[in-house]
Chain A
Amino acid sequence: RKEVEQDPGPFNVPEGATVAFNCTYSNSASQSFFWYRQDCRKEPKLLMSVYSSGNEDGRFTAQLNRASQYISLLIRDSKLSDSATYLCVVILSGSARQLTFGSGTQLTVLP
């Protein structure tokens, strides 16, 4: 079983739509959680950290459910510029703060 699993997609949605991505992690002692965004042939860039209380940054909302070992990202009013691959990232317990990446979910926002 992979340590971090995501639905690979692709998700093709019209502009203005709301889209949600899910991610599960296998290590219940995982410590920190993030969503990164990666554009084609570019490096990943931090989108937002994920906290147990949930957090929101503009059109983006991240949720963490430790009991279910589940992380989500919600994008409202999607823009063409949101088209990218979204990576779920976890810092595993005892991993010396190394990032473990999911395989990514590809999003294409259509005009």
Chain B
Amino acid sequence: GAVVSQHPSWVICKSGTSVKIECRSLDFQATTMFWYRQFPKQSLMLMATSNEGSKATYEQGVEKDKFLINHASLTLSTLTVTSAHPEDSSFYICSARDLGGRAMDTQYFGPGTRLTVL
């Protein structure tokens, strides 16, 4: 099946630093990728929709200047958490829609990145 990778799988950083997370579709092209955040014992919350070659669409309450998204190619989207603070500690998961898939709703999730900000 389709594979989506994320890097890094976990990161620990000091407060105030920036962290970049990569999301790659390994065997299919994805014009649209989604970024989610999941806090402990809570559900996945959509942060933004990343569109190849255009600006990302952010959900209400998500600061676009803090969570920078770049979708430079059909197989790569990056999320940069700028000036990270302890409250940004969370599990960040990306997903990509396989345009070539038989089911247009098919989304494949990356393995997630666990961010801990000290």
Contact = CB atoms under 8 A, between A and B. Distances in A.
Interface residues of B, number: 22
B34 A32 contact: no
Contact of B105 (A43, A91, A103, A104): A91
Interface residues of A, number: 20
Contacts, number: 44
A101 to B, nearest CB: 4
Contacts of A34: 105
A42 B42 contact: no
A46 B34 CA distance: 16
A17 B28 CA distance: 39
B111 A104 contact: no
Interface string A41-73: 111111001000000000000000000000000
B111 A43 contact: yes
Contact of B107 (A99, A103, A104): A99
Nearest to A32: B105
Please classify the interface of chain A as helix (H, G, I), strand (E, B), loop, or mixed, using the class held by over half of its residues.
Answer: strand
Interface string A75-111: 0000000000001000100001111111110000000
Interface of A: 32, 34, 41-46, 49, 87, 91, 96-104
List 5 A-B pairs, minimum CB-CB distance, nearest first: A43-B109, A103-B43, A101-B43, A101-B44, A43-B112
16 contacts: A41-B91, A41-B112, A42-B112, A43-B93, A43-B112, A44-B44, A91-B105, A96-B57, A97-B97, A99-B46, A99-B95, A99-B107, A101-B44, A102-B43, A103-B42, A104-B43
